Amino acid sequence: MAGRRRVLSRAGCFVTLGALLVAVPGCARQDAEQDSRSAAVQRVLDLRADAVLHGDGAAYRATGGADPNLLSDLAAVPLDSWAYKLTRIDGSGPEVTAAAELRYRVDGYDKAPVVAQRTLGLQRTDGHWRVMSDEPAAKSGKQLWDQGKVVAVKGAHSLVLGVGQQPAVLRSYAAIADDAVPSVDAAWGRSWARRIVLLVPRSLHGMGELLAAPASNYRGIAAVTTGEAGGSGSAPADRVILNPEAYGVLGSFGKQVVLTHETTHVATRTVTTAATPLWLSEGYADWVGYRGTGRGAGQAAPELQRAVQGGSAPAGLPTDEDFGFSGDAGKLARAYESGWMACRMIADQWGEDKLKAFYTSVGGHKRRAGAVEGALQNVLGVDEREFVARWRVYVRAELG
């Protein structure tokens, strides 16, 4: 009908009558009550955040009974900021559930806040809202302090945060991370933050909780690095998360290679984008990890060598799917080793500067299609078919 309009508020507080708007009685009051409740909940979250940041136990307890050990669990973490942003309230009456973004920064490491989704239960008593529970939101990872008291060790280039770990162990990991930084500098240069944050949970299960994924996905995986691909430089620092069960049993050489590998991911983050295939990002990280160690191809790529010598040399470079944590350890190892051999070949035949330029060129593309092909032509002067053919010859020559 001409002239008829429908205007709805967020609470559906208006109905149409001809061309006139008629307010439903009580709707304005309901909106005001909702706004007042949201403001009151945000105020208690602000008070809670301020208490956490300043380690004020009395002020923290005054905001509710949720997680009474949080301040002691967090005490060793050098926080620069801690804040909650209320995003939704569900329920009515004296008990509600709130969704909020926890935003925090680690002093000296994070250029921007880490954002974690939280679900909080609140109760209103004596006219005041109190936080009764504070948990990770569904499908969100836990924070390290959700798992217990954090122990912190600071190195020259590293901050190691652990739960359920001996300080001596964490100090040894900080020393390894500190050694990884100059190794990465020598290959990549110094145009990155040159600081590493390591998280060491109590167990493999704890690693899965931090990553919001089944622990079985990471069985046998010594470490992973989380971060923003193609970061703008104003993102939070990457986190290197160690699997204490797999990393802890490695020898000193293996531990150094793993942390140098992960540190390379941190250094290359701003030029690693959706256009970068995993064979290149993982292969380059392995190349930096083994660079200067004196290890030969057969020592660094035993699974690929067995395949070559058994007559099953790969016909092409590994796909991203080949790097999936499928439970086939041999297949995963061959994918990593194949990527490493490709990067090693570029460094051997074109030079280390060309390898870095190739990596940067691939990541500079806006999409995956054409990224590798364009960089091969522009940086190395070969097409993809010739590159793969040369790689196959190189693999057989080095590992046959």
What is the domain-level CATH number for residue 52? 3.10.450.50
**Model pLDDT, residue 227:** 83
Range of the domain at 82: 27-140
Residue type, 1: M
**Model pLDDT, residue 10:** 34
Q: Are residues 249 and 211 in the same domain?
A: yes
In-domain check, residue 22: no
Q: Are residues 239 and 136 in the same domain?
A: no
In-domain check, residue 3: no
399 within 8 A of 304, measured Cβ to Cβ:
yes
Token pair 């799917």: residue = 321
Q: Are residues 51 and 169 in the same domain?
A: no
Q: Are residues 256 and 177 in the same domain?
A: yes
102 vs 302: CA distance, rounded Å: 45
Q: Which residues, at least 6 apart from 14, have a Cβ–Cβ distance to it below 8 Å?
A: 7, 8, 21, 22, 23, 24, 27
Long-range residue pairs from 307-314, CB within 8 A, at least 24 positions apart, any chain: 307/334, 308/395, 308/396, 308/399, 308/400, 309/399, 309/400, 313/392, 313/395, 313/396, 313/400, 314/338, 314/392, 314/395
Q: Are residues 211 and 188 in the same domain?
A: yes
372 vs 20: CA distance, rounded Å: 62
Q: Are residues 129 and 149 in the same domain?
A: no
Q: Are residues 147 and 136 in the same domain?
A: no
The count of other CB atoms within 10 Å of the CB of residue 63 is 22
Backbone torsions φ then ψ of 254, nearest 5 degrees = -60, -40
Q: Which of 140, 155, 179 is the last residue of a domain?
A: 140
Q: Are residues 245 and 352 in the same domain?
A: no
Q: Are residues 298 and 387 in the same domain?
A: yes
Helix (H, G, I), strand (E, B) or coil at 384: helix
In-domain check, residue 249: yes
In-domain check, residue 112: yes
Q: Are residues 57 and 160 in the same domain?
A: no
125 vs 98: CA distance, rounded Å: 16
C-alpha 361 chain-centroid distance:
24
How many structural domains compose the chain?
3
Q: Are residues 133 and 146 in the same domain?
A: no
Q: Are residues 146 and 266 in the same domain?
A: yes
Q: Which of 140, 160, 190 is the last residue of a domain?
A: 140
Token pair 């493999």: residue = 204
Q: Which of 221, 248, 271 is the last residue of a domain?
A: 271
In-domain check, residue 11: no
In-domain check, residue 20: no
pTM of the entire structure? Answer: 0.89
In-domain check, residue 298: yes
Residue-wise burial string across 43-57, b where 16 or more C-beta atoms lie within 10 A, e elsewhere: ebbebbbebbeeeee
CATH number at residue 183: 3.30.2010.30
For the chain, 400 residues long, give each residue's pLDDT as a single digit of tens: 443 333 333 333 333 334 434 444 555 555 666 778 999 999 999 999 999 999 999 999 999 989 999 999 999 999 999 999 999 999 989 999 999 999 999 999 999 999 999 999 999 999 999 999 999 999 999 999 999 999 999 999 999 999 999 999 999 999 999 999 999 999 999 999 999 999 999 999 999 999 999 999 899 899 999 987 765 556 788 999 999 999 999 999 999 999 999 999 999 999 999 999 999 999 999 999 999 999 999 999 999 999 999 999 999 999 999 998 766 889 999 999 999 999 999 999 999 999 999 999 999 998 999 999 999 999 999 999 999 999 999 999 999 9
In-domain check, residue 10: no
Backbone torsions φ then ψ of 196, nearest 5 degrees = -125, 135
Token pair 């660079």: residue = 291
